[in-house]
A and B are shown apart, each in its own frame.
Chain A
Amino acid sequence: ETGVTQTPRHLVMGMTNKKSLKCEQHLGHNAMYWYKQSAKKPLELMFVYNFKEQTENNSVPSRFSPECPNSSHLFLHLHTLQPEDSALYLCASSTTGEGYEQYFGPGTRLTVT
């Protein structure tokens, strides 16, 4: 595997389900990110991790719970979601610090029914 991978690629869940999204980066980076992309809206940053420590929570509802066990893996645990949470969820990684480009995974298309 190369770059940034995400699983699953597609997920349909009911509002009472619990599911998790997984991201893995093979680039040797030490910062990882979760973004939400909704139709016709700019990418919204959700969480930032630097060296496994959460450094940013962009006022995300508690029904989204991130986990970063090491610098290569990032999870997003989902529970009691709402239909408006349906979106493309993107993971990215970068070298820590300003001015470094972020590399994105292919995303997980989430549909909440």
Chain B
Amino acid sequence: GAVVSQHPSRVICKSGTSVKIECRSLDFQATTMFWYRQFPKQSLMLMATSNEGSKATYEQGVEKDKFLINHASLTLSTLTVTSAHPEDSSFYICSARGSGRVSDIQYFGAGTRLSVL
């Protein structure tokens, strides 16, 4: 299957700093990438969808100025949590899908555990 690499796997930062998370498709071109967030004992929740070269589409309740998404190439998307606060502490995970049928598989990274002190 296709491989998606996500870095870092864990990050601890001070309140007010910004954190960048990278998501790379290693062996396929990802025309669409997705960013999810998971709080403890909850399900994965979609934050935003990004298509290469376009602005990301954010889900209701997700602040686009706080969670900056860049999908500048077919193999890389980044999520920047700006001015992180303790309530942003969560598990963030990306997925990627190539072109083709919309029912095609989304391939996931291994996730990033963000802890904001």
Q: Do A and B come from one complex?
A: no
Q: Which residues of B contact A (CB under 8 A)?
A: none
Residues of A near any B CB (own CB < 8 A): none
